[in-house]
Chains A and B, each alone.
Chain A
């Protein structure tokens, strides 16, 4: 079945540092999504990407849809404590297809 490989699995950073995480797939997706999940909550959409090569920003977050349509990355600049959480990439082949989630990247900010 389709799988998304998300890395790194976890990150420990200092406040103020930039963060980068990525997602790769063995198959093509036509939509890439990045979500953040706080403990005990459902995921919240951060950025949606619909075109190969697309680069989209949302505040301190920037995400790109890989040109091959098999990968995507998410960058967070100047991290702050509220960035702590789990970040999931997700892919979708077509509008009526299910969303496939990566395993998540757990972001920790050291005091």
Chain B
């Protein structure tokens, strides 16, 4: 079956530094990937849609200069949280479209900014 690998699983960084999260489709090509953010005990909120070879589409209220998305190949999308602050601490999850209506999610990245 389609597998989406997300790395790292967790990361702790200092305030003001940048963190890169990778999302890879392991056994299929993903022209479209999605990045979500989830706060404790809350639902998944879509941050942006990442399209291979083009600029990401950001949801309203998401700072594109803070959350940089790159989808340079059909198997890799990256999310870089720039100049991270404690309020950016969250669970970040990517997903990829795997078929007509199928979506597979990565296992998520727990970001803690100290």
A contact residues vs B (CB 8 Å cutoff): 31, 33, 35, 40-45, 48, 50, 88, 92, 95, 98-99, 101-104, 106
Name the CB-closest residue of B to A88. Answer: B43
Name the CB-closest residue of B to A98. Answer: B46
Contact A99 B6 (CB under 8 A): no
Residues of chain B within 8 A of A31, CB atoms compared = 101
Residues of chain B within 8 A of A101, CB atoms compared = 43-45
Q: Is B107 an interface residue (CB 8 A)?
A: yes
Contact B43 A99 (CB under 8 A): no
Contact B101 A95 (CB under 8 A): yes
- Besides A40-B110, A42-B4, 14 more A-B contacts (Cβ < 8 Å) are A31-B101, A33-B103, A40-B107, A41-B107, A44-B105, A45-B103, A88-B43, A98-B49, A99-B46, A101-B44, A102-B43, A103-B42, A104-B42, A106-B41
Distance from A107 Cβ to chain B, minimum over Cβ atoms (Å): 14
Residues of chain B within 8 A of A33, CB atoms compared = 103
Contact A42 B43 (CB under 8 A): no
Interface residues on B, range: 20 to 34
Name the CB-closest residue of A to B36. Answer: A101
Distance from B39 Cβ to chain A, minimum over Cβ atoms (Å): 11
Residue of B9, B45, B91, B101 near A50 (CB, 8 A) is: B101
Near A by CB (< 8 A), chain B positions 58-114 give: 91, 93, 95, 100-108, 110
The CA-CA distance from A101 to B49 in the complex, in Å, is: 15
Residues of chain B within 8 A of A41, CB atoms compared = 107-108
Residues of chain B within 8 A of A98, CB atoms compared = 34, 46, 49
The CA-CA distance from A57 to B40 in the complex, in Å, is: 30
Q: Could you name 25 residue pairs across A and B whose Cβ atoms are closer than 8 Å?
A: A33-B103, A35-B105, A40-B9, A40-B91, A40-B108, A40-B110, A42-B4, A42-B106, A43-B44, A43-B93, A43-B105, A44-B105, A45-B102, A45-B103, A48-B102, A95-B101, A98-B49, A99-B34, A99-B46, A101-B43, A101-B44, A101-B45, A102-B43, A104-B42, A104-B43
